[in-house]
């Protein structure tokens, strides 16, 4: 197979579209679940503490690395 035919291009296009849409649907599903989970003040506090911990760890890594 050295030459792509119209059928080959169409098949790759359809499979690519299906793969991309599946990924986007998975992200949308996860985002909707997270939106529901972040409605409480306790969840916001945990999220802020987690993000702060990640930033502190990144800063510490940058401080000790050359």
Tell me whether residue 57 is in a domain: yes
Which residue range forms the structural domain that includes residue 44?
6-64
pLDDT in tens, 14-60: 999 999 999 999 999 999 998 888 888 998 899 999 999 999 999 99
Whether 11 is in a domain gets the answer yes
Alpha-carbon separation of residue 28 from 10, 17, 35, 47, 48 (angstroms): 27, 16, 10, 19, 22
- C-alpha span between 61 and 66 (Å, rounded): 10
Q: Is the pTM of this model over 0.85?
A: no
- Let me know if residue 54 belongs to a domain: yes
- Tell me if 1 is assigned to some domain: no
- Give the per-residue pLDDT at 1: 59
Residue 10 belongs to a domain = yes
Band (pLDDT 50/70/90 cuts) for residue 11 is: very high
Is it the case that residue 66 has pLDDT exceeding 80? no
Cα–Cα distance, 32 to 46 (Å, whole number): 18
């Amino acid at each position: 197979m050295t030459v792509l035919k119209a059928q080959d291009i169409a098949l790759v296009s359809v499979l690519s579209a299906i793969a991309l849409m599946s990924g986007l649907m998975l992200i949308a599903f996860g985002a909707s679940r997270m939106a529901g989970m972040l409605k409480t003040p306790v969840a916001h506090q945990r999220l802020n503490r987690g993000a702060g911990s990640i930033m502190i760890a990144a800063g510490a890594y940058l401080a000790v690395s050359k």
